[in-house]
Amino acid sequence: MGRLVVVGVDGSSSSDVAVIQAAREAERRRARLHVVHAFTWPVGGMYAPLDPSPLNRLARDAAQHARNVAPGLEVTESMLIGDAASVLVAESRAADLLVVGRRGTGGFVGTLLGSTAVSLAAHSECPVLVVREEAPDAGPIVLAVDGSPEADGAVDFALAEAELRGVEIVAVHAWLPDHAPAGTGVETAERLLAQAIAGRRERYPDVKVRQEVLSGEIRSVLIEASRNAQLLVVGARGRGGFSGMLLGSVSQALLHHAHCPVAVVRNKA
């Protein structure tokens, strides 16, 4: 079927930024871009005649915007009835990447920092890229590593993305010395980090990976590490010591406060 990037739009400035990022991602992957606008109907339980023209125009305008960003890119668009999370999860089943804006008008991603983001992170069949306005286009990719099998997908995604972008990866493992098991030190954390990356470098020989073990609380470490990054990549689940709470308070903190776009990667069952 070929590669596919899906972007959700709602006419907000945040979704405009998502379209730009999605077009660039599709261009890097030599993929097709599909622009989706979702809406719920009836509104407030009241059926009323629906004039689809403004909604169709919104999707068409977003698709044209993508073509302007990446001339020659194959772009399609559609208008779908349904709540944002359900529509996006359905679209993700055939996609390589799902891109959404950090904020919206409320019709598509207005609650992205709440239940919609959690639902996408938990159920999307492909990685979810949450972009922010005024996102940096320079700096490394920061990869959150906890050494769990559940986070393997995030490692693979980050390496592939770094190769596409031609940038280095800063692989970060956070630990709290006061809460570490007896007899373990920073060497244990360093070994865990190295093992998570080992075995994959052969596939990405041109990607430089810098490994950092940082002491501190999980959310604070990630948010600070994102300050000079162009992308933060995290797994949807982990051991609990790093990303086990990603579908709760940690993901909320990252989506609210990270200084760069955040990619959430869930391992397929």
Domains of the chain with bracketed CATH: 4-131 (3.40.50.620), 141-265 (3.40.50.12370)
Q: How many residues does the chain have?
A: 269
Q: Which amino acid is at 109?
A: V
Q: Which amino acid is at 50?
A: L
- pTM here? 0.86
Least confidently predicted of 19-23, 91-95, 120-124, 225-229: 120-124
pLDDT at 182 over 80: no
How many whole angstroms separate alpha carbon 220 and alpha carbon 61? 39
Least confidently predicted of 4-13, 33-42, 184-193: 184-193
What would the pLDDT profile of 197-238 be if each residue is shown by its tens digit?
Answer: 887 878 999 999 999 988 888 889 999 999 999 999 988 764
How, if at all, do strands 75-81 and 141-144 pair?
unpaired
Average pLDDT of span 14-36? 95
Residue 177: predicted pLDDT: 63
Residue in the structure block whose two tokens are 């001339």: 71
Residues 6+ apart with CB under 8 A from 193: 145, 147, 171, 173, 211, 213
How many whole angstroms separate alpha carbon 261 and alpha carbon 241? 23
Q: Which amino acid is at 112?
A: L
Token pair listed for 71? 């001339």
User: Which residues share a beta bridge with 34?
Assistant: 6, 76
**In this structure, what is the dihedral angle of CA atoms 159, 161, 167, 173, given to the nearest 10 degrees?**
-50
**In this structure, what is the dihedral angle of CA atoms 114, 120, 122, 126, given to the nearest 10 degrees?**
-160
Mean pLDDT of the chain: 82
